[in-house]
Amino acid sequence: MKNPAIWIFAAVFFLYPGAETAVGGWIGSYVSRMGPRGAQIASLMPAFFWAALTLGRALGTIFLRHFSEHQVLRGGYGAGAAGIALMLWAPSLSYVIVGALVTGLSFATLYPIAVARLSHRFGVAARGIGAVMFSLASLGPAIVPWMVGVISHATGSLRAGLLLPLAATVALFLLQLFEW
């Protein structure tokens, strides 16, 4: 517990899955509030996000052949934050769709890289540490989307609630500025 890298991994394993689930889970509700056209396409929005995430995971090996894990993590968190920001401040539904696709593609390789880095960093000890990290990876998706709803309800704005996964993604980007 004295190793600072463990706390960084704990943040990654809690915040990233929480942000991913919050964006994928709330994007349909967010779009449904954008008028009649948004209401028509709202049920498809999670599919756009998850399809982009799945496609990105398939394409991730190509990126990792040309860029280091550290570069992919920085780019993924940075582009993911930009995608969420685009969704939240988009002037039209088309931009929200683009933001969802960018976020899904950007998030694609982040969790698999985190798991690989955990194994690489801690070796055999990763088995014990991994149990805690994977528990955190279950808590993040339970707590972060719920907090989006709590914030949304308290403020009367789903956009305000969705600032939470944006803040989490920005925090994870800032962690990537340091080698860990």
22 and 145 Cβ atoms separated by less than 8 Å: yes
pTM, two decimals, is 0.93
Task: Give the span between the Cα atoms of 40 and 89, in whole angstroms.
Answer: 20
Judged on CB neighbours under 10 Å (0-12, 13-18, 19+), 34 is middle
Sign of CA dihedral 168, 173, 175, 176: positive
Confidence of residue 163 (pLDDT cuts 50, 70, 90): very high
The answer to whether residue 147 sits within a structural domain is yes
Residue whose structure tokens are 């989006």: 148
Q: Can you give the CATH number for the domain in which 38 is found?
A: 1.20.1250.20
Least confident span in 15-24, 112-121, 122-131, 170-179: 122-131
- Residues spanned by the domain of 97: 4-175
Q: What angle do CA 105, 25, 176 make, to 5 degrees?
A: 45
Rounded distance, CA 161 to CA 176, Å? 24
Cβ-contact 148, 29 below 8 angstroms: no
- Report which of residues 63 and 47 the model is more confident about: 47
- What's the pLDDT score for residue 63? 87
Q: Is residue 156 predicted with pLDDT exceeding 90?
A: yes
Residue 115 is assigned to a structural domain of this protein: yes
Residue 180 lies in a domain: no
- Provide the pLDDT confidence category of residue 47 given band limits of 50, 70 and 90: very high
The tally of domains found in the chain comes to 1
